[in-house]
Amino acid sequence: MKLAIITAYPPSKVTLTEYGYHLVKHFRLQDDITEIVLITDRTSEEKDLSFDGEGCKITVKECWDFNNYFNLFRIYKAIHETKPDAILFNLQFLKFGDRKIPAALGLLAPFFCKLKGIPTISLIHNILEQVDLENAGITQNKVLQRVYNFIGSMLTRFVLASDIVAVTISKYVTILEKKYKARNIALIPHGSFETPPEPNYSLPKGPKQVMAFGKFGTYKRVEILIEAVEMIRKRTQEDIEVVIAGTDSPNTPGYLDEMALKYSHVPNLRFTGYVAEEDVPVIFGESAVVVFPYTSTTGSSGVLHQAGSYGRAVALPDLGDLGILVREEGYTGEFFEPNNVGSLADAIEKILVNDCHRVALGKKNYNAACSLPMSVITKMYTDYFKAIKYKKLPTFSPILTKDVENVVNVD
């Protein structure tokens, strides 16, 4: 199978870059994949393809740009030129731009690729019905919110033209089936990027690091984390360093610079900027606790899966998609009320002052991560592509992986 993967890819800063990297890393090891055509956004630096060990051939086609009005045509042209046997889109609603028209045009690509008769799966990490448009920094105007929801529904129908639409959370299956009468929804978990050998859960000497990771400024806010740690410092003797790892959200440029200035008086506060893929194990491995200072959620959390992979304890709000993910995939942590500094301080403190509790949380999260490695997830996608090819997809819904295994026999 010659597989085309349409995704942002390192060193790109576009959303879902890390997920695209790990899709390619693990698809290349699948026996059924003979070549990967990586249809990706253009970057000034070369794409990171420095994988260990052997794997299938990877052909890179840099052809689209964030916020470019012609991305649809460029992707379609790349598909026409490379002639893949199957296509996988790695999507969310602001994948191709944070401006409305280029973002919308890019999401038409699955429909046009399906018209070519090529087996197409679209993985969507969020659905507009579950996005808080105000907290996500898209718009506060109630009229515009209704307009965007209408347009989002239309775009969802174009994405649903794919042979299969994969989602990572069971609630999305229910919403898409009920609202759109869709019968081609597959529940495929997010998966864990890496499953390294089980860590010893010890911490490096020096301050205990309290870390948040991601793109900040919309629904991910660092103020509550910094102020919570300041509260802990006043009532305990813990030596703590706050680490903000990542960059601004595209919708809030300059946010982290503003926060660095606002909290310049706070000791042991470090902003790392963009974290390269090879530095991710270090930033997680040195953390005593990974914090999710979220006011809402917009889909499955790659950060939670990474924290689990490295055996880290987490403090997180029990809200929306994040709460569902924790319950469905077996993760755990100390929970806090969103936007409540005192509640977050209590959650972090329970982990920092009790090493046995911290290690127990880390072990459970590691076990949850090991249960769904990316090697298993990419095998699920490969099985679905074979089911499409041999026209053996189940006719009932929701489509689950075990259903495909029961009806596909191509050996």
Task: Indicate whether 168 belongs to any domain.
Answer: yes
Contact at 8 Å (CB) between 260 and 289? no
Name 374's Cβ contacts closer than 8 Å, sequence gap at least 6.
Answer: 22, 23, 25, 26, 191, 192, 193, 194
Task: Indicate whether 200 belongs to any domain.
Answer: no
Task: Indicate whether 118 belongs to any domain.
Answer: yes
Give the pLDDT score at 154. Answer: 86
Task: Indicate whether 203 belongs to any domain.
Answer: no
> Domain check: are 139 and 265 in the same one?
no
Task: Indicate whether 392 belongs to any domain.
Answer: yes
> Domain check: are 378 and 355 in the same one?
no
pTM of the full structure: 0.73
As a whole number of angstroms, the distance between CA 269 and CA 98 comes to 30
- Lookup: tokens for 222: 């660092």
> Domain check: are 25 and 154 in the same one?
yes
Give the pLDDT score at 54. Answer: 84
Residues 303-340 pLDDT 10s: 888 899 899 999 998 876 777 778 778 889 999 998 89
> Domain check: are 13 and 24 in the same one?
yes
Residues 4-45 pLDDT 10s: 999 999 999 888 898 999 999 999 999 999 999 999 999 999
> Domain check: are 67 and 165 in the same one?
yes
> Domain check: are 335 and 236 in the same one?
yes
Task: Indicate whether 109 belongs to any domain.
Answer: yes
> Domain check: are 184 and 215 in the same one?
no
> Domain check: are 185 and 247 in the same one?
no
Residue range(s) defining the domain that contains residue 270? 208-370
Q: Number of folded domains in the chain?
A: 2
Task: Indicate whether 197 belongs to any domain.
Answer: no
- Lookup: tokens for 56: 């299938």
> Domain check: are 366 and 378 in the same one?
no
C-alpha radius of gyration, the chain, whole number: 21
9, burial (CB in 10 Å: exposed 0-12, middle 13-18, buried 19+)? buried
> Domain check: are 154 and 301 in the same one?
no
Mean pLDDT across the chain: 87
Give the pLDDT score at 152. Answer: 73
> Domain check: are 118 and 89 in the same one?
yes
> Domain check: are 66 and 212 in the same one?
no
As a whole number of angstroms, the distance between CA 152 and CA 124 comes to 13
Which CATH number belongs to the domain containing residue 212 in this structure?
Answer: 3.40.50.2000
Task: Indicate whether 151 belongs to any domain.
Answer: yes
